[in-house]
Structure 1
Amino acid sequence: MKFAFNRSASLNSIVLAGLLATVGASAMAQAPAAPATAPAAAAAAGKPAGHHGDRMARHDPAKMQAWIAKRQADMKAKLKITPAQEGAWTSYTASMQPPARGARPTPEQRAEFDKLTTPQRIDKMKEMRTQRMAEMNAAMDKRSEATKTFYAALTPEQQKTFDAEHKKHGGRHHGGPRGHGPAPIKG
């Protein structure tokens, strides 16, 4: 049996396959996915509606601030903060506020970044990441020290309540970037 190669048929098959792939990809790109509502998205993620991990709250500073204020008011009520402890409470809650968002790059900074070669951009991004991590570590250290100072001002009964509340939430220091803090320590 002799195999005959038909160059024209092979080229036509390749062109046809390419056209079909292009049409299929453009059809998929034009069909938008149905937007999920916040409660539906939370339920799909296995979280109750209104859960603090709701992505919308993360992007809405007013909602995030309202959630933090509510959580702090609930904690203050559970701890039964006395007038003598009010100063320690105020210092503690102030330290738990999320940091201000970093400034967005200006068009001039963006243009300078675009002029860099790929290795230079990689080095610049590494430098920026190192600086950001140092800032995050300093903020976490500040929150940790503020928590220890506040904890020391509590009565033994209040400390038990504080411990119980923090265990419920995995020991996180809520109010940090995106509501996250250090991961719980597992022994």
Structure 2
Amino acid sequence: MSDPAAAAPIVLRTQLRPGDIGRVVLLHGELYAREHGYDHTFEAYVAEPLARFAQAGSPRERLWLVERDERVVGCIAIVEAAPEVAQLRWFLVDPNARGMGLGRRLIGEAIAFAREQGYRSIMLWTVEDLQAAAHLYRAAGFRRIARKPGRAWGVDVVEEQYELAPIPLADEARPGPAPA
């Protein structure tokens, strides 16, 4: 017997609805607490710039949400770090939706959007423990440019900065498998 949730269609959307910002914060807070031991201050770290993003409504910034069974199971965003530099933020795929190519698809959407908006490069910050995400970043052409050990969100972390510069033209973009 097949799992009905496995056959549920995946919906990728950028039109924000009431509750979406809170869901992104909740997903990050719960997932990072469960998988990495982060405390409640991580939610504030996500919530504050996410609220600014939602209030600004800049056409050069975008948040993608992945839904399955009308539940948000993934997200990613491009925000403006500087006039020619985009920042990739809030990348997350729920453990129950991993292994379907959603992470690769989200990163591809974010890179394509940044290119369309005229950004010359994309930067991001992550932590060393997120090896699966780092693998996807490197596969998309990002390279690590900085490492910084420290303490944040109630745990010891090694923050890492990645950069994609210049953003490849559409025909130079690294192909990835299409999600089912």
Larger Rg computed on CA atoms: 1
Q: Taking CA–CA contacts closer than 8 Å with sequence separation of 6 or more, which of the two structures ends up with the larger relative contact order?
A: 1
In the superposition, the TM-score normalised over structure 1's length comes to 0.28
Of Structure 1 and Structure 2, the greater helix share is in 1
Structure with the higher fraction of residues in strand conformation: 2
